A and B are shown apart, each in its own frame.
Chain A
Amino acid sequence: MLLDILTADKTLFSGEVDSITLPGSKGQFQVLNNHAAMVSSLDKGIVKTQSKSGNQTFEIKGGVVEILKNKVVVLA
């Protein structure tokens, strides 16, 4: 699925990933392919991504995530 991590300053990440772990405000959760459409608020924490080319982590200070039709947008 396609992931974009945006901040007001710049785009932190944009690309294809297999799984994303997010610090949701009600607890950490993971998003895999074909996840249901969802909007969630995020707490301060770490976003972990997994893809064939390797794993990456990003630190965020809270935000919102929108998941829709295999397109994930994290607004940090």
Chain B
Amino acid sequence: MANLKEVRIRIASVSSTQQITKAMKLVSATKLRRAQNGIVQMRPYAQKLNGILANLSESVDVDSVKLFFAERQIKNILMVVITSDRGLCGSFNANVIKLTNKTIKEKYFAQSENGNVSVLTIGKKGFEFFNKTTLPVISEFKDTFLNLNADTGFEIGTKVLSDFRAGKFDAVEIIYNQFKNAATQILSAEQFLPINKASFSNTTAKNNDYIFEPSKEGILEELIPRILKTQIYRSLLDSLASEHGARMVAMDKATENAGDLLKGLKVEYNRARQAAITKEISEIVGGAAALSS
């Protein structure tokens, strides 16, 4: 039988843990709302970009942007792995890392044998994992999620695009958690570059007899990198919202578990207390009996 004091200490520790998990859940819920707001804010922007592109899609064969669509021989690969900076969010990061490893193994096995698969980590958790592997890690983007805005997203996009343009990488793949709702994340690996043309210009072209300044090509040159950067920013926002969703669920479960644990401990505590009382009474009764006889 556990002694009273021990049980009491355990109850105190479990209930303070429960308070922490409960608070973390509430904080995540608030942050989730903010992250979701970011996604909503970005939507009209992305739609309009694609709308303008729809008017130009017949002319995407110009030299300046053809590069982004052309399938080259794939020698060097960049995996953009988006994880979170903090833990305590269930299997959120583990899933991303697992999918990354799987993609490398299944899709780019030959290249990884030659050491031609690089990893660009966004988020501390991914960096901590891949830094221990043999894969070359690019980790110049840190604290991305501390203050996520379009500028940070575009900065990463600019770097990826310029590396691709310079021929450092022949394919870029993004691995992240897509946000569906607070409880569901869709783990996804998307080929970012070269662009899959079919998925890119599926919007119907509407001809409005636009004047193009400086020219169709000039606008495409501005538009396509912008769309790509917006895509990266969108994945970051999705990942952030997913992270908070995952943490909320994890903390909710933890709070629930702590509650179960507390219930069991309280029963144990009451039993121990009752046993102590019973023992005391029987001692007194025994003592009194001994005196009177």
A contacts, CB < 8 Å to B: 6-11, 24-26, 36-42, 62-64, 66, 68, 73, 75
Contacts and interface: CB of A to CB of B under 8 A. Distances in A.
B38 A39 contact: no
A7 B42 CA distance: 8
Interface size class of B (residues with CB under 8 A): 20 to 34
Nearest to B233: A8
A36 B149 CA distance: 34
- A contact patch SS: strand
A25 B212 CA distance: 11
B214 interface: yes
A24 to B, nearest CB: 6
20 contacts: A6-B48, A8-B45, A8-B153, A8-B230, A9-B42, A9-B150, A11-B44, A24-B213, A26-B214, A36-B211, A38-B210, A39-B212, A39-B219, A40-B214, A40-B219, A64-B49, A64-B219, A66-B210, A68-B210, A75-B52
Residue among A39, A42, A66 having the largest count of chain B Cβ atoms under 10 Å? A39
B41 A25 contact: no
Contacts of A68: 208, 210
B213 A41 contact: yes
Given A39-B52, A41-B222, A64-B223, A6 B44 contact: yes
Nearest to A40: B213
A39 B226 contact: no
B266 to A, nearest CB: 49
Given A25-B213, A66-B52, A68-B208, A7 B45 contact: yes
B209 A37 contact: yes
Contact of A75 (B45, B149, B154): B45
A22 to B, nearest CB: 10
A48 B79 CA distance: 41
Nearest to A38: B211
A23 to B, nearest CB: 12
B210 A37 contact: yes
B87 interface: no
B218 interface: yes
A40 B212 CA distance: 6
A42 B153 CA distance: 20
Contact of B48 (A26, A38, A75): A75
Interface string B180-220: 00000000000000000000000000001111111000110
B139 interface: no
B209 A63 contact: no
Contacts of B210: 37-39, 66, 68
Contacts of B154: 8
B48 to A, nearest CB: 6
Given A25-B222, A39-B219, A64-B222, 4 more contacts: A24-B213, A39-B213, A64-B52, A64-B219
